[in-house]
């Protein structure tokens, strides 16, 4: 398709669209948004997995198939795109942070003559009064507030499982504090780099093993709990899937019990935001300690957050 500039400088023959990108350490997710509706999605490597490739080139490749039919009114990115290894470093915004402060701190970037805005991460004290940070999860949180207005009232606790799990306190619609757990990355390291899992076999999930891991996390030391994954395979003939599920339960259970033990953490309903399969594991762990939970889809929340951020861009 050939496009030309019309008399007022717009690209004629192309459908106007916005590109909304969530670019984390593990993956890039780009959504083509036309009139508030996602019509296509592109995926790519995360900022930590680019190898020798430049971030700008990865973004260019991801968006290339859309350029024949669409004119990008703006491109909005959140997450590690704004880190020092991303497209351009965008300083953190200090909590407490509302939506207007977050989107107002976005930085512009020239990229293939497109209007590109990169949103900042957020810096806050954690529940141990130590500095903590996040990049990308705040888009899901502000998206959740946009989707469910009641969440912007009072004191709320939101949990975003992932490579680095985040527990975030929200007060009257403002991100106030956050606590990061290394759970997801530690699970991946234990499964792929440690001696705890046998090579070969299948990794079918085992809910009973997961629940056992959650219970053990409350009663026993973490290091001892982890080694049971190996000894049960060697002595009792447990499967690799059983062991992997046990490890998941131990780590998520340890995270949950650690957070609930902090005296400064609010004792309120937890809103889980993320991939449905992962949030279901956290729901089970929280249900085991009688914590009420609501679950929201991570993709829906990040899209709502990026759309909210794009309105004033």
- Residue 21 in domain: yes
| Model confidence pLDDT, tens digit, residues 92-139 | 999 999 999 999 999 998 777 788 999 999 999 999 999 999 999 999
- Residue 127 in domain: no
Q: Peptide bond preceding 96: is omega within 30 degrees of 0, i.e. cis?
A: yes
- Residue 201 in domain: no
Is the per-residue pLDDT at 288 higher than 70?
yes
Contacts of 115 (CB under 8 A, 6+ apart): 72, 73, 74, 75, 108, 313
Mean pLDDT for 70-98 is 95
- Residue 112 in domain: yes
Distance CA 229, CA 251 (A): 12
Residue 32: CATH number of its domain: 3.30.420.300
Residue 114, pLDDT score: 84
Question: First-to-last CA distance in the chain?
Answer: 29
| Model confidence pLDDT, tens digit, residues 242-267 | 999 999 999 999 999 999 999 888 88
- Residue 34 in domain: yes
pTM above 0.85, yes or no: yes
How many domains is the chain built from?
1
Question: Residue 47: which domain range?
Answer: 4-92+107-119
């Amino acid at each position: 398709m050939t496009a030309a500039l019309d008399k007022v400088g717009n690209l004629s023959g192309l459908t106007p669209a916005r590109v909304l990108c969530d670019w984390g350490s593990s993956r890039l997710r780009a959504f083509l948004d036309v009139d508030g509706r996602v019509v296509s999605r592109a995926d790519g490597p995360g900022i930590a997995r680019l190898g020798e490739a430049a971030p700008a080139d990865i973004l260019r490749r991801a968006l290339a198939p859309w350029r024949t039919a669409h004119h990008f009114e703006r491109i909005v990115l959140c997450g590690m795109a704004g880190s020092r290894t991303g497209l351009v470093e965008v300083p953190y915004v200090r909590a407490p942070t509302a939506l207007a402060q977050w989107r107002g701190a976005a930085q512009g970037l020239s990229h293939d003559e497109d209007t590109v805005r990169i949103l900042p991460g957020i810096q806050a004290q954690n529940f141990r009064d130590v500095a903590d940070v996040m990049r990308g999860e705040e888009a899901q949180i502000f998206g959740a507030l946009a989707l469910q207005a009641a969440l912007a009232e009072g004191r709320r606790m939101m949990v975003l499982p992932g490579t680095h799990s985040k527990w975030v306190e929200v007060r009257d619609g403002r991100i106030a504090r956050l606590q990061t757990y290394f759970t997801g990355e530690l699970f991946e390291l234990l499964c792929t780099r440690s001696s705890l899992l046998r090579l070969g076999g299948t990794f079918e999930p085992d809910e009973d093993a997961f629940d056992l891991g959650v219970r053990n996390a409350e009663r026993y030391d973490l290091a001892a709990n982890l080694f049971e994954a190996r000894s049960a395979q060697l002595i009792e003939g447990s499967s690799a899937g059983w062991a992997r599920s046990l490890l998941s339960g131990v780590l998520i259970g340890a995270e949950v019990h650690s957070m609930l033990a902090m005296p400064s953490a609010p004792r309120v309903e937890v809103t889980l935001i993320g991939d449905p399969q992962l949030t279901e594991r956290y729901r089970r762990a929280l249900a085991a300690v009688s914590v009420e939970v609501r679950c929201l889809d991570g993709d829906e929340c990040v899209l709502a957050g990026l759309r909210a951020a794009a309105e004033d861009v």
